[in-house]
Structure 1
Amino acid sequence: MSIFRKRKMGTPLSGVLNILGMTVAFAALYIILVQVHHDFTYNKEIKDADRIYCVSLPDWYTEGKYMVWLNRPPFEQMISTIPEIEAGGTGYLFGQDNGAIIGDGKNPTLSDPSVSIKMSAMNRSTLDVFGFELAEGSWDNFVSVWDYAFSESAAKKYGVGVGGHIMIRDWQSGTYHDANVVAIYKDMPMNSDLSSFEAICPIGDQSINSWSEWSYPYYFKAKEGVSKDDLEAAARKVMEDLIGGDADASDEEKAESIKRTRVHLIPLTETYFDQTIGNRNGASGNKSTTYTLLAVALLVIIIAFINFVNFFFALVPVRVHSVNTRKVLGASRASLILDCVMEAVSLIAVSLALAAAVVMLFQTSTAANLITCSTAFGANMSVGIFTIILGLFFAVVTSLYPAFYITSFSPALALKGSFASSSKGRVFRYLLVGLQFLISISLIICATFVGLQRKFMLSHDMGFDREELITANVNRTVGKSAEALSSKLREDPQIKDISWADGDLVKPSRMGWGRMYKGEQISFQCYPVAWNFLKFMGIPVVEGRDFTQADEQSENGVFIFNETAKNKFGFTLEEKMPGHMDEGEAEVAGFCRDFNFTSLKNEVSPLALYIFGKHPWRPLTTLLVRTEKNADIPAIMKKIASAVSEIDPTVNPDDVDVQLFDKKLQGQYVTEANFSRLITLFTLLAIIISLMGVFGLVMFETEYRRKEIGVRRVNGATIGEILKMFNIEFARIVLICFVIATPISWWIVNRYLSGFAYRVPIYFWVFALALVAVLLITALVVTARCYGAATENPSVTLKKE
């Protein structure tokens, strides 16, 4: 290992920079590979996942999309009549926080503290679809909506057991209800939708005979040997038979219904990445985003290994004397090559060990929230082993060529000459640094546009007034007393106005209604609101009239459609249309200006604002509060929570969901925000590692061009001219790389932005900014490293040389 010792003694700073660059690169690679592995194996560890299918129908609103929220009668009939189905059922594959009182797990009281548990619901038959395994208790007792089963980890966490009694908050009333713990099931795979909840209760026979309630996701498990196409064909046959048996429908109506209810099965293993699912049941990912993160991580590794290769080649002129001296003394070429390879492996091993420490620091930092899964080594053994093998493989590969090259010279030639100024070696080193610049410039441009698009989505005019707006979601008990709560809050002079709605204004989807109109089936999303909602939100009515307080007493409800619905369906003010009542039709009072009620990824679709009238399905439970300018927002939010608790004393003020509207809006773009931060983080890493490479190359150039610098100084060159000479060389490389990076970056950015219905323009100044930033940073690094060589006494330099 004499070569390694000589290297460490001769260039300690370069060695340290190299190790640091590889450390950061390996840590970044491991973290991203954990996320990539999680994404590509999502739901695949569920038992018999390859035979489980999510049932869907063509989406009512967007062609090419599918909806998974279904009505129950036809799919229950499929489960009971199709022999190819081994098991089937309905269930929600996401956990929602709900209040629970555990107490001693046997006799809890309302005076005991409450906890928040992630809960879900599914039928007994659905448990067989997903292969739930009992650890304790019996599924025979899993019958009523107040019979709960906990996962093993959750049971341990909350201290509950089979036969125990707890209290669960009722979703609708908000009051606590006695519940039984009837079963404990084994923990489901972590990288699956089945790990998103801690406890489940049965759905039972809710809406089992209702053809109009579309609130139930269904899953089929095919028998072994049954293909997706065969099961799909059988399901479509049942649906066609059901529609064909409707004696009241015409042939045209039957044909239209068959087209709209054509069953489409989505493999459970593909639901995570499937972009055709509209309002999904479970987690989702974006394959392009995952591939992008993987590509960025690999680019960071490439940049780091370029430094590694450059470092080895930079030391060839120093090593060639030592290596060939050992040749003269009898060392074999194979042993010298092995020394060089082991040196590289040793450096990589040190970097991998330090990278593990960096990952552990990452796990305890706020940056860990950017990853949707655990980065713990114990949970990702395969990823850790792959990272180690990849690192060692690259160490061997990247060291072999320099090792063969350095041992290829004859001892006589090597001991006489200097190889510092080898033109081939110099071109090779500059090409590698140029590749680093190319990658860094491209990443800067792409990261900037990702950040700009995120800011654009948060600041874009969505068509309504977002200023001084607070929102709160309350339970139905409070919703039934909306007028009392509004009156109490209006006593505060800082509160300008109040309105109510049925759920958040901006969300992925909401209640969908289908209606027959002029002989055709039409579909639109429906958003029940208070009579003053449009005026409160600053949304103008462009035709007809606004809602009035008298509409709250209408018999059949009142519609106001958006412009998109009016133009798409040809509505007029003379129209009437069935509302929420079984009999009678609701008035179409007017048409409002379009506004964005979903993410800016989507175009505006048909929407109906709706007043229930005197016979509402349910109370409105989303409170909207407009404050005066410069109001004490924290005090008002606290007052809202207290007022809610006064209306319903079972509600703890700290549990009331009160937020600024803009903060809640940011929740729609969590994926984009995390993606933007990750891309920015890895771009900074790439720049830092690239600068380490530039620093190392400049250090090499100044070290082995000391004689040239000394001669130039003796001949009258100033320090500034020496610095200019080196800076021009690197500026040329940066400019060439920028010319190549520009079209590549434009293509990548355009592809990314094409996924948004509303997007920022591709600004030229971003490209210019990336060029200026890289030029300035490179100039600082080059100048800082060259200054020492440029100011050295030329007589001393020439004497040494």
Structure 2
Amino acid sequence: MFKNYLKIAIRNLLKKKVYSFINIFGLGVGMACCVLIFMFVQEELSYDNYHEKGDRIYRVIHGSTQEGVEESEATNDFWVWGNAPVGPALKRDFPEIEKVVQFSGRADILLSIGDITQQEEGILFMDSTAFEVFSWELLQGDPKTALAAPYSVVLTESTAKKYFGDANALGQSIKGSEVAGRANAGEYTVTGILADVPSNSHFKFNLLISLNTFRQTRAEVFDDWGYADTYTYLLVNEQFDQAAFQEKIPDFIQRGNTDTEESNYMIRLEPLKDVYLRSDAQRQPGQTGSLSNIYVFSIIGIFILVIAIINFMNLSTARSMERAKEVGIRKSIGAGRKSLIFQFLGESLIIVLLAALVGFALVSVSIPLINELTAKEFQLASLINWQTIPVVLATIVIIGLLAGSYPALVLSSFRPVSILKGINNSNARGVNLRKTLVVFQFSLSIALIAGTMIVYSQMALLLDQDMGFDKEQMVVLDYNYDGDVTNVSASIKNEMEAIPGVSSVAFSRSVPGSHFPAAYTTLEMADGEMVGQAQPIFQVGLDFIDHYGLELVAGRSYSRDFPSDSTQALVINEAAARQYGYANPEDIIGKKFDQWGRAGEVIGVVKDFNYISLHASIEPLTLPFEAYASRYVSVKLTGEDIPATLAGLEGVWNQLVPHRPFIYSFLDEDFNQQYQSDFRFRKIFTTFSILAILIASLGLLGLATYTAEQRTKEIGIRKVMGANVGNIVGLLSKDFVKLILIAILVSTPVSWYAMNLWLEGFAYQVSIQWWVFLVAGVGSIIIALMTISFQSIKAALMNPVKSLKSE
């Protein structure tokens, strides 16, 4: 019996090759898309899961309450980056905390080993307890002492190979430059070699320097509750209760923080499992993911698979009449309904199994593409293991049963007497079902087309929005606070500005899109009271404001005509003026300020500019003049012969500061790096949307082909009666167009709501226009007509004599 069922299934597949191809290939593509999306989602959800004690690791986030607002109702932003003394104080006051590990914000350092000199990025000053909390594999060295002594350094395996090749790096010396505010220049000893940090880690590094190096250089930082340069992670015991712990925090702060009354300082804990996808805190130590993007991609994956299954069900129910006589004969000779259901479900499972093989082949060849789209490193081998194989087999069975259930139930319910007489009352039900499924299928397709258009519009806004500063043709040279460069900054400026193709040169500690510190700033209010606020600062050189084209809305910029500007003047942005209660920027000019040991008057207010990405609104910002805490040289080019201009800049650099590598980048490219995850989202969203539409079109082609076959005689009669090709094409197309018009009405409100939710992740967002859905609907109609027209025209051009002879 089973052998007979198998033969019949194979014969049917070979007999109707077009339908078999559409079913198998369409379902295979749908399954492949689902698998690829599953791989991406699984990778995103796996972040930091490799830590053995991950369920007991938390991190401290820092914030402040507004006056008169309860901590539980506070809406202020929290920062992961904060003060150092909070870690030891928590360990001292709470016995449920077993270990504290702290590390600095990311630093860069100039390393010299023999003839190799390179600015190494991704460096952390790390606590000696790191290996007791995090599950990092130390290949060489003692985990208890590797980060204990000052000027100890632990290299990752790839970093060790870069500098030492195949030689043993353990115990070797590395010469390191000064790390501004953290470490003096000196000799570092390699005390450990660490396996490269897994890719699914929320922060990464190339080497670790002992935190005691930082502590030896600036010990006062580790007792200063107002100095932010530390990330604090905690390992708690098994009985830890986060809610109960949080209730004790206000009392802890009152005991431990002497500045509480002024700053309204508060802290919260974040579980490690929430750090990558669920954290809203600012100043993250590394990359973060997007939970909403995971939802979007998961939904798209389900959409694609559903569309493919709908194709299968539509074609199976549409072709049910072709097998009606077979069912009638089988029933008349004693076949039971159960055996028929089993037969048709078996045929369905065979098709799904073949589709799965096609899908697996497509996944194999698509791995490089998905790696490029997601900037991750997926391996096909990760899909083949004892955990995934049962899931894959179960999925094949479920899809086979789901896709084949309705056709099997419909076919097995035919009455043999009626069927053999040519009567089939279930045909109308089948037609209605197919219409419903086509509407649903194209509702999804239209929603995806509209979503793609909105995503592209939002990405265009990110690139084209006037940021309020000049970023085009701006070259940024990074010299990492090197004091030797600062000492000759005047010569560098003069020599570079003399190069043809250079418009102007400016020095600063930060540039738009880069790291910037925060400073507690006290400023005079309208009533004369001095009020303090913590806010971001850009320490800038004398010419920075003019160089970047920042617009002054009140007062003046720094000037060489006023020597006191270097120590007693401050320029702020409009948001900072509003923060202190000045709606009119003119009113804050001349008001007193006190910031990081500098005191004087506000001399100017610049128009708000987007110095961070458009995901966030413009925050209050101060731009104090600072000649000796710079890191970047910004060079504005005229756009004439850029390669020659860059060569001239490198020549000046090598002449004046030959010890420092010439490291440059273009500001617009650096700034847009903030949107890399958004651009990847656009690529992935668009790619899978196109695939979903293609699968839907493939199913529509199958239905159009079947419809044309069923109406062969009708078409022949109409042609004999004088119908032309246009009449026939319109006849076969109008029913599908009606269904797509209904799909437009169904999909518009749903996709509008979904895309509005996605846009909430941007402070600056496009408004969704009604015409987007009109264009999406028209586009889907055009796609459908192009799909249908081929088969319709073929049917219309058929010789009516052959049509009238057909059975």
TM-score by length of 1: 0.89
Q: 1:532 and 1:353, CA in 2 relative to 1: closer, same or farther beyond 3 A?
A: same
Q: Any gaps of 5 or more consecutive residues in structure 1? A: 102-107, 247-252
**2:504 corresponds to:** 497
Q: Any gaps of 5 or more consecutive residues in structure 2? A: 1-5, 67-73, 583-587
Fraction of identical pairs, as percent: 25
* Paired AA for residue 221 in structure 1: L
What's the CA shift for 1:604?
A: 1.6
| 1:201 correspondence with 2:215 | no
Equivalent position SS for 1:142: coil
- Distance in 2 (alpha carbons) for counterparts of 1:362 and 1:481: 53
What's the CA shift for 1:773?
A: 1.0
8 Å contact kept, 2:499–2:648: no
Q: How does 1:660-699 map to 2 (within 5 A)?
A: 661-699=667-705
| 1:607 correspondence with 2:621 | yes
**1:569 corresponds to:** 580
Q: How does 1:240-639 map to 2 (within 5 A)?
A: 240-243=254-257, 246=258, 255-257=261-263, 260-328=264-332, 333-365=337-369, 367-371=370-374, 373-380=376-383, 381=385, 382=387, 386-417=391-422, 422-477=427-482, 478-507=485-514, 510-515=517-522, 517=524, 518-549=529-560, 554=565, 556-570=567-581, 572-581=588-597, 585-612=599-626, 616=628, 618=629, 620-628=630-638, 630-639=639-648
Q: Which range is displaced more, 774-783 or 498-507?
A: 498-507
**1:735 corresponds to:** 741
- Distance in 1 (alpha carbons) for counterparts of 2:356 and 2:307: 16
8 Å contact kept, 1:55–1:265: yes
What's the CA shift for 1:113?
A: 8.0
What's the CA shift for 1:239?
A: 2.1
What's the CA shift for 1:270?
A: 0.9
What's the CA shift for 1:268?
A: 1.4
Q: Which range is displaced more, 339-348 or 541-550?
A: 339-348
The partner residue of 2:787 within 773, 781, 790 is 781
* Paired AA for residue 668 in structure 2: D
What's the CA shift for 1:735?
A: 0.9
What's the CA shift for 1:621?
A: 1.8
Q: 1:333 and 1:519, CA in 2 relative to 1: closer, same or farther beyond 3 A?
A: same
Q: 1:789 and 1:254, CA in 2 relative to 1: closer, same or farther beyond 3 A?
A: closer
Equivalent position SS for 1:636: helix
What's the CA shift for 1:232?
A: 3.3
8 Å contact kept, 2:85–2:224: yes
Q: 1:189 and 1:622, CA in 2 relative to 1: closer, same or farther beyond 3 A?
A: closer
Q: Which range is displaced more, 215-224 or 630-639?
A: 630-639
* Paired AA for residue 289 in structure 1: N
- Distance in 2 (alpha carbons) for counterparts of 1:388 and 1:647: 67
Equivalent position SS for 1:273: coil
- Distance in 2 (alpha carbons) for counterparts of 1:227 and 1:415: 72
Equivalent position SS for 2:211: coil
Equivalent position SS for 1:524: strand
| 1:182 correspondence with 2:187 | no
What's the CA shift for 1:480?
A: 4.2
The partner residue of 2:23 within 18, 25, 28 is 18
TM-score by length of 2: 0.88
8 Å contact kept, 2:153–2:188: yes
What's the CA shift for 1:528?
A: 0.9
The partner residue of 1:232 within 241, 246, 268 is 246
Deviations 1:613-646 (A, max 9, x none): 5xx3x2x222222222x41223333443454344
- Distance in 1 (alpha carbons) for counterparts of 2:622 and 2:118: 39
The partner residue of 2:102 within 86, 90, 97 is 90
The CA RMSD over aligned residues, in Å, is 3.0
**1:767 corresponds to:** 773
Q: 1:765 and 1:532, CA in 2 relative to 1: closer, same or farther beyond 3 A?
A: same
What's the CA shift for 1:694?
A: 0.7
The partner residue of 1:799 within 786, 798, 805 is 805
Equivalent position SS for 2:614: coil
Deviations 1:421-449 (A, max 9, x none): 92221121121111111001111111111
- Distance in 2 (alpha carbons) for counterparts of 1:319 and 1:359: 34
* Paired AA for residue 299 in structure 1: F
Q: 1:634 and 1:732, CA in 2 relative to 1: closer, same or farther beyond 3 A?
A: farther
8 Å contact kept, 1:551–1:558: no
What's the CA shift for 1:218?
A: 0.6
- Distance in 2 (alpha carbons) for counterparts of 1:80 and 1:140: 22
* Paired AA for residue 408 in structure 2: A
**1:250 corresponds to:** none
**1:43 corresponds to:** 48
8 Å contact kept, 1:531–1:611: yes
Q: 1:317 and 1:170, CA in 2 relative to 1: closer, same or farther beyond 3 A?
A: farther
Equivalent position SS for 2:100: strand
What's the CA shift for 1:68?
A: 1.8
What's the CA shift for 1:8?
A: 2.2
Q: 1:555 and 1:638, CA in 2 relative to 1: closer, same or farther beyond 3 A?
A: closer
Equivalent position SS for 1:263: strand
* Paired AA for residue 395 in structure 2: L
What's the CA shift for 1:274?
A: 3.0
**1:105 corresponds to:** none
